[in-house]
Each structure stands twice: as C-alpha cells, then as structure tokens.
C-alpha cells in the first residue's frame, strides 16, 4: 500500500511539472506571437516613414521577446531616424550601447556604434569600443579600418605660422608675417601679453632657458625670467642655442660664438652648431670640423658634412652622422665608424634611434647599429620621433609607424618631427605651418 502511495505521489509531481511546462511554453509562445504582431506593425510604420512610431512598437516587442534579430531590426529603424534627424543622435547611441550590453560579441553593433562616433568627431569613444571588441579576439577588415581611422585621427591648431624654429627646451620660436614669439610643445603662448610676443628675432631656447631676442633695433641675451644677461651691438641674422656658456650668432653672413654678456669669443664660420660636452661642429673654409670651447680644432678628420640634430647638436645617442670620402656613415664618440653601414644621405638622429637614410634616390630607415629596419621606398623621409616618421611621395608628406604602416596619408606640403606631447609642425598651405596633434594619446 505504501508503494502505491509513493507511485501516485511521483505521478502527481510529474503531471504538475508537465502542466507548468505547458503553461510556461504556452506563455512563451504567446509572448513571441505578441512580439511578432508588434514587429509587423512596426514594419508598416517604417514603410510610411513613421520611424518614431515604429521604434515604439519595437520597444514593446523587445519587452516581450528580447532576441538578437529583433534588436538588429530595432537598430535599423534607429539608423533610418538618425539619417533623417540629427536630433536622434543621442538616442541612437543609447540603443546601440544597450544592444551591445546584451550581445557583446556582435561585431555589427560595434561597427555601427563606431561609425556614428566617427561621423560626429568622437574618435576617443569610437576607439575605446573598437579596442574593446578587438580585445575579445573579434576582428575583421572593417573593424581594423575603423580602428586605424579612430586611433590616428588628428586635428590642426587654428593658428598658422609663416616660419618656425625646431623645438628646443620645450619651446618653438614661431613667426607670423615676420613677428616672432615663443610657444610650448602644444602651441600655447609662453609669454602672454608681453613684448616677447612681438619680436623681430627669436633665437632658439638654450640651457638655463637663455635665448637671443631682438626688439626692433636692439638685441639682448635674456633668460626665462626675462633678466637681461647681455647686449649685442648689432642685429643678428640668426641665433643658435646657448650651451656650455656660448651661443652661435650670425652677423654679416658669418657665425661666431658669443658669451652670456654678448662679447664675441671666436668665430668666422659658414655655420656653427650647439656645444655638446665641450665640443661643437662648425663649417669652416676647409670643411666640417669639431672644435673645443676655445675654437681649436679637435676633430680627427675634416668632414664633407656633419648632420646636426634638432637642437643643432653634432652628436645624439652617442653617435654622429658625417660624410667622408663621398659617403655618409655612423660614427662613434671616438670619430670611428660605428659599423659598416654607409649611404648617400642621412636625416638627423632622434631619441627613437631610427634614422632616415637615402640610397639610390630612395629613402628608408636604419637603426644606430647600422641595421636596415625599413628598406628604401620613399621619395623623402624624416627620422622617427615618438613612434612616427614623416615620409614623402615626391610632392606631399604623410606619416608612417614603425611597422611602415601609413597612419596619415600624403596630404601635407612638408612635415617636422613629433614632440613628447604628441604634436608636430606640418606645412598645410603655401608657407603656412600648423601644429598637428592626435585625438587619441599614442
């Protein structure tokens, strides 16, 4: 008898479960049917161009049956509304982000969201979402293309300059129609509301922030606090960088070195570089030589050329680039060839250590050990700086990364080097230069 009761009890439980399953299944089927009816109505509204009414029907449908296909149709309607009315921008973004929260591996949703952000200049958010899906191991050609577009989006400072001097000690000397001033790495004025924004000459900034400046008919050597360190009794044509107690200044077509007081020490060179560890490279009648801080030749050789860096230094990262016997080579501090590499021409050495070189009319890149990193393929090139290098197709300039991938197309008339803040001078129109910066920190 007890066994019979047990069997009966089990049967009742099974029947109860079957009943519940039937109810649940019935409810699910019923909800799916209701959702389908709202979707059908939504499509009717779409055919009439009533996108907001269609969106309302899709919202109800999703509350009954939140499946991926309905979400995709829902997004399609929002896209139509967005294309018709920019006011729907925020709503469209919210819907895409909601869809991604449910289906976070749907690459189409990420692509749509990234495109909307990019269309509206929000490269940072586009980049973040594309990076998120790439980190999930999901990628394709379109995702990669959008990712590169967002990562390397750039902007140009609205201020244009007619001339500039290479960055030195965190400052550019820049000119607009012959009037010079100083700006920092990001293009901000160093001296606001000052006569230092109205100079006839602005020498590059040297050690202790000393620089040579000219106001109309007077020239001074000043420091960062505008304390006058010395006077010049002439108007320089050009002024180099103060280092080791000396600054090269051009007067009457020749360069000489002056001390902090403005007294000439020695000179009469065709060109004179910045002192580095008590040495400087100068171009004399005989050729390029190294001198000490008394003007004595100390170089082992007389070179046909010595490549000077951004701050007009002859040596950077322990190497010197010089031409001897018709070929450029990489020299060490003892003026010995550091390796067997030679070429027709070099650009400068930077902290990146990847030097642009030319052989047979084409430019490539070599490291300071003499290993070719990128084979010559460009009509022109500048050395890598902060991860990127300017390259030319013969008429315009763009930028590549260290893998040789073009990150900014050939659109500029000329280009400089990226600084530590991610800014770079580019020539955009005639003689006009502007500071380019990335939207995304690289």
CA quadruple 365, 371, 374, 379: dihedral sign: positive
**Residue 13, number of CB atoms within 10 A of its CB:** 10
Cα separation, 296 vs 270, whole angstroms: 16
Residue 19: C-alpha distances to residues 12, 13, 15, 25, 40 (Å): 10, 10, 6, 10, 31
Parallel, antiparallel, or unpaired: how do β-strands 362-367 and 372-378 relate?
antiparallel
Please give the average per-residue pLDDT across 375-395, as a whole number: 98
What does pLDDT average to over the chain?
92
The pLDDT tens digits of the residues spanning 202-235 come to 999 999 999 999 988 899 999 988 899 999 999 9
Please give the average per-residue pLDDT across 399-423, as a whole number: 97
* pLDDT at 13 exceeding the cut of 50: no
Please give the average per-residue pLDDT across 9-16, as a whole number: 50
Measured torsion, CA atoms of residues 40, 43, 47, 51, in degrees rounded to the nearest 10: 140
Please give the average per-residue pLDDT across 103-114, as a whole number: 96
> Are 211 and 204 in contact, with CB atoms under 8 Å apart?
yes
pLDDT at residue 3, rounded to an integer: 60
121: left (phi over 0), alpha (psi -120 to 50) or beta: left
Query: Could you tell me the pLDDT band of residue 5, with boundaries at 50, 70 and 90?
Result: low
Q: 54: helix, coil or strand?
A: helix
Please give the average per-residue pLDDT across 16-33, as a whole number: 56
CA 123 from chain center: how many Å?
A: 13
pLDDT at residue 1, rounded to an integer: 46
In percent, the amount of the chain with pLDDT more than 70 equals: 93
The pLDDT tens digits of the residues spanning 90-100 come to 999 999 999 99
Find tokens 């490291």 and name the residue. Answer: 367
* pLDDT at 17 exceeding the cut of 60: no
Residue 207: C-alpha distances to residues 224, 241, 323, 368 (Å): 10, 8, 29, 26
Cα separation, 56 vs 70, whole angstroms: 13
pLDDT at residue 8, rounded to an integer: 46
pLDDT at residue 21, rounded to an integer: 45
In sequence order, the β-bridge partners of residue 397 are 392, 412
Please give the average per-residue pLDDT across 113-128, as a whole number: 96
Query: Could you tell me the pLDDT band of residue 9, with boundaries at 50, 70 and 90?
Result: low
The pLDDT tens digits of the residues spanning 296-339 come to 999 989 999 999 999 999 999 999 999 999 999 999 999 999 99
Query: Could you tell me the pLDDT band of residue 266, with boundaries at 50, 70 and 90?
Result: very high
Please give the average per-residue pLDDT across 63-92, as a whole number: 92
Helix axes 51-64, 2-47, angle to 10 degrees: 170
Instruction: Output the pTM of the full model.
Output: 0.86
Which of 61-65, 100-104, 171-175 has the weakest average pLDDT?
61-65
CA quadruple 244, 246, 250, 255: dihedral sign: negative
The domains located in the chain, with CATH, are 200-314 (2.40.128)
Say if residue 188 is exposed, middle or buried (CB neighbours under 10 Å; 0-12, 13-18, 19+): exposed
Structure tokens at 4: 């019979």
Cα separation, 415 vs 424, whole angstroms: 8
């Amino acid at each position: 008898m007890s066994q019979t009761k047990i069997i009966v009890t089990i049967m009742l439980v099974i029947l109860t479960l079957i009943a519940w399953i039937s109810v649940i299944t019935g409810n699910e089927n019923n909800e799916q049917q209701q959702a389908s009816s709202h979707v059908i109505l939504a499509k009717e509204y779409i055919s009439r161009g009533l996108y907001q009414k269609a969106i309302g029907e899709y919202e109800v449908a999703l509350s009954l049956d939140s499946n991926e296909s309905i979400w995709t149709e829902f997004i399609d309607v929002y896209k139509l509304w967005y294309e018709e009315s920019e006011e729907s921008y925020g709503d469209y973004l919210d819907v895409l982000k909601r869809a991604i929260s449910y289906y976070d591996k749907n690459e189409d949703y990420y692509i749509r969201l990234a495109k909307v952000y990019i269309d509206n200049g929000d490269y940072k958010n586009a980049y973040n979402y594309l990076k998120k899906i790439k980190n999930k191991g999901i990628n394709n050609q379109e995702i990669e293309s959008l990712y590169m577009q967002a990562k390397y989006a750039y902007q140009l400072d609205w201020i244009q300059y007619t001339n500039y001097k290479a960055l030195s000690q965190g400052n550019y000397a820049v000119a607009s129609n012959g009037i010079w001033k100083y700006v920092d790495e990001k293009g901000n004025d160093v001296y606001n509301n000052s006569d230092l924004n109205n100079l006839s000459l602005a020498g590059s900034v040297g050690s202790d922030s000393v620089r040579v400046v000219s106001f109309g008919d007077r020239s001074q050597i000043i420091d960062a606090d505008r304390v006058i360190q010395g006077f010049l009794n002439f108007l320089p044509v050009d002024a180099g960088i103060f280092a080791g107690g000396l600054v090269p200044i051009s007067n009457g077509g020749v360069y000489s070195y002056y001390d902090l007081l403005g007294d000439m020490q020695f000179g009469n060179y065709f060109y004179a570089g910045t002192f580095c560890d008590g040495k400087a490279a100068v171009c004399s009648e005989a050729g390029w030589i190294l001198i000490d801080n008394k003007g004595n030749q100390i170089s082992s050789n007389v070179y046909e050329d010595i490549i000077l860096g951004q701050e007009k230094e002859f040596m950077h990262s322990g190497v010197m680039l010089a031409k001897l016997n018709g070929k450029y080579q990489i020299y060490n501090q003892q003026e010995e060839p550091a390796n067997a590499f030679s070429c027709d021409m070099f650009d400068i050495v930077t902290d990146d250590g990847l030097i642009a070189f030319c052989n047979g009319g084409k430019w490539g890149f070599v490291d300071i050990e003499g290993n070719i990193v990128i084979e010559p393929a460009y009509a022109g090139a500048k050395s890598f700086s902060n991860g990127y290098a300017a390259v030319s197709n013969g008429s315009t300039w763009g930028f590549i990364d260290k893998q040789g991938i073009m990150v900014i197309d050939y659109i500029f008339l000329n280009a400089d080097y990226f600084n530590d803040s991610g800014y770079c001078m580019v020539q955009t129109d005639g003689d006009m230069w502007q500071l380019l910066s990335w939207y995304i920190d690289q």
